[in-house]
Amino acid sequence: MTPAVASQDLVIQCTIICKLADALQHTINELTGTRKSRPSLTVVALLARNLLELRVWIEFCTKSTKNARKLQLDAVRDFDGMIKHVSPGAPDTHHEAIGLFKQFSDARAELEQVLEPGELVGSYQKVRKAAEEIGLVEFDLGLKVLSKFVHPTAFLISVGQVSDEKYTLIQDALIKYGLEIASAAATIGKAFNESIRERLQPRI
């Protein structure tokens, strides 16, 4: 039996999905941790919104290697922005910052090795557009509701300081929503992993 060989594009796709899964689990842990730390509702809503966006990116990247490549290119663009606009301003006395941006540069150089000439020309893949492409119709509503708590909107300013009882009710609702989104994302990721294992099964 000869094992199937994964293409470079498939390796990139699997790597991206793996990193998204790690980010998903990390954000789940942060969100559930707010039950004990009880930060502002802005923090709770931001974590729930992050899970919503991760849900989009996970399904978007499982759809095709091309989609995963788009997110990878956006990562390179992000590194470029950080290195170009922030790194030069880091004071020489801030050795931690210098070391961090050295890591950014190294990671960027590693990503560049698999880039084709001119690939970075273009714009970012917008999460709303990605949600449309995968048919996640509830994305806009979820984003709008969560953003009411994340940004200093008229709603959030009008609500002001909430009582402990109301805080707990709102927090529980935000956590429940975030975990439901995360569960759907994890299911999609698991199905992708299983399909890859089947595809790479040794062939007679």
CA 121 to chain CA centroid, Å, is 22
When divided into structural domains, the chain yields a total of 1
Neighbours of 98 (CB within 10 A): 13
Residue 204 lies in a domain: no
Contact indicator for 28, 179 with CB cutoff of 8 Å = yes
- pLDDT tens, residue by residue, 129-168: 999 999 999 999 999 999 989 987 787 778 777 888 999 9
User: What is the predicted pLDDT for the residue at 136?
Assistant: 97
Residue 2 lies in a domain: no
Give the helix ranges, DSSP H, for the chain.
8-37, 41-63, 65-85, 95-112, 127-134, 139-150, 154-159, 164-199
Q: Which residue has the tokens 């708590």?
A: 149
Residue 111 lies in a domain: yes
- pLDDT tens, residue by residue, 42-101: 999 999 999 999 999 999 999 999 999 889 888 877 776 666 665 555 555 556 666 666
Quote the domain boundaries for residue 162: 8-199
pTM for the model stands at 0.81
% helix / strand / coil in the chain, to the nearest 5? Answer: 75, 0, 20
Residue 120 lies in a domain: yes
Residue 188 lies in a domain: yes
Residue 192 lies in a domain: yes
Q: What's the pLDDT band for 191 if we cut at 50, 70, 90?
A: very high
For residue 203, give the 3-state DSSP assignment. Answer: strand
Residue 180 lies in a domain: yes
Residue 1 lies in a domain: no
- pLDDT tens, residue by residue, 159-184: 777 888 999 999 999 999 999 999 99
